[in-house]
Amino acid sequence: MKVRDLVLMGLLAAIGTLSAGVVAVPIAAGAKVFPVQHAINVIAAVFLGPGPGALVAFAIGLLRMMLGTGTPLAFPGGMVGAFVAGYAYRLTRRVWAAALGEVFGTGALGALLAYPVAKLVLGKQVAVFAYVIPFATASAVGAVFGLVLVAALQNTGLWRSDGKKQIGG
């Protein structure tokens, strides 16, 4: 892993952590949806890949919990979404695939994995599919925002249209 990647991971984790108190929306059953996380997942998927993207999501979730702006539900939603987004981008080299991977990873897989976390860790009595709609909605909004940000980077020349990274050389 290059120093540039570590710096980008830290920057994305800092942005995600600091924006949590401003943009997080509380919903039922102890969850807070956080569209910025999903935008960061798309950006991390494109620039870093599935593993580092999941690490960024883990760092944001952990820091948010430590600061009181997040819940344990951030781990299955954010990390799975970031990993699936990164993998989808790696397979297709299409930013839209990363966005769809984020929505599927968070909105379906992460939401289903949130059920045991809610039940065992938070002690909440929820239905198995209780988090699917809120997680899918938040991830769709965030994924669109992530697409816009990646497009802006492409237009500034920081990201070449052939998909090669320009940031840091």
pLDDT of residue 169: 46
pLDDT of residue 161: 41
CA–CA separation, 63 and 40 (whole Å): 15
Query: Which is it for the CA torsion 20, 58, 54, 32, positive or negative?
Result: negative
Task: Give the predicted TM-score (pTM) of the model.
Answer: 0.85
pLDDT along the chain (169 residues), means of 10: 90 91 61 80 94 96 88 86 96 95 94 82 72 85 92 75 50
pLDDT of residue 57: 95
Domains of the chain: 3-20+30-156 (1.10.1760.20)
pLDDT, tens digit (0-9, with 9 covering 90-100), for 87-135:
999 999 999 999 999 999 998 999 888 888 877 776 677 776 777 888 8
pLDDT of residue 165: 53
